[in-house]
Structure 1
Amino acid sequence: MRKKLHSLVLVLAILIIYHSELKAQGCVAIRQFSGIGNAVGQGNILEKGEWNISSNYRYFRSFRHFSGREEHPQRVANNTEVINWSHGLDFNISYALTDRAYAVVSLPFAYNERSSLYEHGRNSRHMTYSQGLADMRVGAGYWLLPGEKAKRGNTAIGLGIKLPTGDYNAQSTFYNVGPGGSPEVRPVDQSIQLGDGGWGLIVDTQGIWNLPSNFFLYYDGFYMFNPRNTNGTQTNRARASEAIMSVPDQFAFRAGVFKPISFAHGLGLSLGGRAEGVPVRDLLGASDGFRRPGYIISVEPGVSYMLGNFTTTVNVPIALVRNRTRSLTDIADSTPDNRRHGDAAFADYLINVNLAWRIPKRVKGVFNSVD
């Protein structure tokens, strides 16, 4: 019984941090979301009054160009591909309001580099950069099943707000684009902007269920509504309909199985799949301006280790399907003789590393000698 209980606690600890780095692997720009969804495992681990502190680091390098699901390998062969290097670090703090309700705050930071030929007059390749605070999130959630009813599993639902704290007009130096080929300071590409400039409403869900043979099913996902239409940031793109950056919705869902390793105390392995992306149209508000809609479907292996109140997890989503769908401006500017379909650069894989620390609540006579 104690072994089963330890396994369940281990899996729930993994769920604290498994909703990590939901940032699409390339130019289809999903902002990192390791805070809102992660907290959905904490309601069952944490008792009322307990805290959980976690940090999540993620990295990817995008360089493979796709229009729809068709890859353009000639971009790499001809050295005309766009390359993004993205590093993200989130700090997440959650608090158990009750044994079933929780609150969470997530503070994300990012550092991005972008190497491009076409953005610098198409004569030579140069780099642009962005770094700093990204869009902060606050949220809360609730586990649906109480006490004994949750012995075999549980599902939580949550709501969150994305605050526009990230710079959505981050700028860098572009070469060969000014008068006489001089450099100019311009806004960086949408894919490496630190924020999107909109207040967002996040709806999320997450769950864990006990399966036979000491396996566990996990799942989580979110949809973020971004009602703001455009944010006023210039794109310097040729088409008038794409002159200003859009503020798009975002979504992600993942599910898989987790298996504690019986002969290695605290060790666990997981295998799952995930889908994430940017829709062509927002569910609320208008969808004008420039965006790169699309989605990525990945297989997601992972390994975790739990020691006391500390848990570390590494997972590596590997892209199986990359689809840069047609945007509204692609559709509007197409003719029977010229079907427009923009492209986007995607990564082959994403690396997530997470550390989490559960802080037990104070016990009378143990943590507080005054009580």
Structure 2
Amino acid sequence: MKTITRTTLTICLLTLLVQTQTFAQGCVAIRSTGGICVMNEHPDSTETNGKKGYWIYNNNDRYYKSFRHFIGKQEQFQRTALHNNVINKVFTQDNTFTRVFDDRWSVSADLPIADNSRSQLAGTGRFSTHSFGIGDISVTGLYWLFDPKKATKGNIQAGLGLKFATGQYDYQDYFKTASGSRVLAPVDQSIQLGDGGTGVALTVNAYYNFTHTFGLYGNFFYLANPRDVNGTPTSTTTPASATKIAVTSDVESVPDQYLIRFGASLAVHKFNFSLGMRDDCLPVHDLIGGSDGFRRPGYIIAAEPGITYSFKNIALYAYVPIAIIRDRTQSVPDIRQTELTGTYAHGDAAFADYVVNVGISVKF
């Protein structure tokens, strides 16, 4: 029973706890939204120190460097060769607190803190802009659809949450002009702390154990942002052109985002090894509301190896999604500009090769 319960807990908790924390990857601004789920390893597991229910604290640290430019699936190798590529460095710390009420219900709250920088070329030299602060806070209610006391091999968890516009979405820093002067303006959308919208998030987590040590997992997450645009201008050192205004790319969009993960997990003593695939996507069109404004839609298909070491009520983990396919899709303003000018328009985006996620989870 101990082996079964430890494996079940490890597979579900530590492969799902990065379900929405580890969004990729550069100019495609798929932001961290936190989130954690827990599978009760035993019907009476909600009893901790003689008290009903328990808490889980998870700290996830994410880092990536995006520098490879893509238009569609085609990498723009000349940008790197000419050293005029944009380089984003993003560090996000997610602090997630989950209250497990019983063997089916739980509620989690996530507080992200971000430290971002963006290096780009102006004139003959490079300069950097930065952002630092709290991101968009989210709260999620989670429920296991099947009774864990009976569904001992597999289960499905559904969650519904709210993402609040607590992160600053018009953060400003100084930009360098071609003449060498400095202008204070909003930083690029890719390193803004928030998106400016209150969103509704749907989460589905599932797992199935074939044996005491081997099982499968899957996650689906969709964040719907009904707000159309947030009012933050995209122009920095020069005024927006008439064309940008006409196609609405002069102001930032408030986009949806989604994540799909699936894979297999193998428990060996106190270690858990997992290998899966993931699709991080910022869609062209929102599910609810308008899709106006500037956004860099696209998706990243990645292989995701992971390792977890658990002891007592503590677990340490590391996950490193490695990009296989990167696609910067054509945005709504791109489509409108193509129709308006008669010339095909398709913006680019910078992507990372991989994302590093390390963290600790503590049950108390």
Contact 1:153/1:209, CA 8 A, preserved across alignment: yes
Give the AA of the match of 2:8. L
Quote how far apart the aligned CAs of 1:277 are.
1.3
Contact 2:158/2:203, CA 8 A, preserved across alignment: yes
Q: Distance in 2 between matches of 1:20 and 1:258?
A: 18
Quote how far apart the aligned CAs of 1:21 are.
2.9
**Aligned with 2:99 (options 92, 95, 100):** 95
Report the counterpart of residue 316 of structure 2 in structure 1.
312
Go from structure 1 to structure 2 and tell me whether the alpha carbon gap of 1:44 and 1:20 turns closer, same or farther (over 3 Å shift): farther
Q: Distance in 1 between matches of 2:297 and 2:40?
A: 34
Report the counterpart of residue 49 of structure 2 in structure 1.
none
Report the counterpart of residue 351 of structure 1 in structure 2.
356
Please give the root-mean-square deviation of Cα atoms over the aligned residues, in Å. 1.7
- Say yes or no: does 1:328 pair with 2:332: yes
Residue correspondence of structure 1 range 44-63 to structure 2 within 5 A: 47=46, 48-63=52-67
Give the AA of the match of 2:275. L
Quote how far apart the aligned CAs of 1:43 are.
5.3
Report the counterpart of residue 11 of structure 1 in structure 2.
11
Report the counterpart of residue 219 of structure 1 in structure 2.
218
Quote how far apart the aligned CAs of 1:81 are.
0.3
Contact 1:22/1:30, CA 8 A, preserved across alignment: no
Contact 2:305/2:320, CA 8 A, preserved across alignment: yes
Contact 1:43/1:143, CA 8 A, preserved across alignment: no
**Aligned with 1:342 (options 328, 347, 351):** 347
Q: Distance in 1 between matches of 2:18 and 2:193?
A: 23
Describe the superposition over 1:72-101 as per-residue Cα deviations: whole angstroms up to 9, x where unpaired: 011000001000000000111001122101
Residue correspondence of structure 1 range 103-114 to structure 2 within 5 A: 103-114=107-118
Describe the superposition over 1:240-259 as per-residue Cα deviations: whole angstroms up to 9, x where unpaired: 22111000001011111000
Quote how far apart the aligned CAs of 1:4 are.
2.5
Give the AA of the match of 1:351. V
- Structure with greater proportional strand content: 2
Give the AA of the match of 1:19. Q
Go from structure 1 to structure 2 and tell me whether the alpha carbon gap of 1:300 and 1:15 turns closer, same or farther (over 3 Å shift): closer
Contact 2:112/2:137, CA 8 A, preserved across alignment: yes
Quote how far apart the aligned CAs of 1:16 are.
5.1
Describe the superposition over 1:225-281 as per-residue Cα deviations: whole angstroms up to 9, x where unpaired: 1000100101005422211100000101111100011xxx31111100100111101
Quote how far apart the aligned CAs of 1:181 are.
4.9
Go from structure 1 to structure 2 and tell me whether the alpha carbon gap of 1:185 and 1:42 turns closer, same or farther (over 3 Å shift): farther
Give the AA of the match of 1:348. D
Give the AA of the match of 2:155. N
Q: Distance in 2 between matches of 1:320 and 1:147?
A: 36
Describe the superposition over 1:19-45 as per-residue Cα deviations: whole angstroms up to 9, x where unpaired: 25332211000111232xx22x24567
Contact 2:20/2:259, CA 8 A, preserved across alignment: no
Report the counterpart of residue 363 of structure 1 in structure 2.
none
Contact 1:42/1:52, CA 8 A, preserved across alignment: no
Give the AA of the match of 1:7. T
Q: Percent identity?
A: 41
Contact 1:20/1:56, CA 8 A, preserved across alignment: no
Contact 2:148/2:155, CA 8 A, preserved across alignment: no
Q: Distance in 1 between matches of 2:21 and 2:295?
A: 20
Go from structure 1 to structure 2 and tell me whether the alpha carbon gap of 1:146 and 1:25 turns closer, same or farther (over 3 Å shift): same
Contact 1:10/1:266, CA 8 A, preserved across alignment: no
Quote how far apart the aligned CAs of 1:152 are.
1.0
Q: Distance in 2 between matches of 1:229 and 1:356?
A: 36
Residue correspondence of structure 1 range 89-168 to structure 2 within 5 A: 89-117=93-121, 120=122, 122-168=123-169
Quote how far apart the aligned CAs of 1:12 are.
2.8
Contact 1:230/1:246, CA 8 A, preserved across alignment: yes
- Say yes or no: does 1:254 pair with 2:261: yes
Q: Distance in 1 between matches of 2:111 and 2:97?
A: 9
Residue correspondence of structure 1 range 62-81 to structure 2 within 5 A: 62-81=66-85
Which runs of no fewer than 5 residues in structure 2 stay unpaired? 47-51
Contact 2:104/2:148, CA 8 A, preserved across alignment: no
Contact 2:250/2:294, CA 8 A, preserved across alignment: yes
Describe the superposition over 1:85-123 as per-residue Cα deviations: whole angstroms up to 9, x where unpaired: 000001110011221010011000000010011xx3x43
Contact 1:93/1:105, CA 8 A, preserved across alignment: yes
2:346 counterpart SS class? coil
Query: TM-score normalized by structure 1?
Result: 0.90
Describe the superposition over 1:181-221 as per-residue Cα deviations: whole angstroms up to 9, x where unpaired: 52110000000000011100000110111124731111112
**Aligned with 1:85 (options 63, 83, 89):** 89
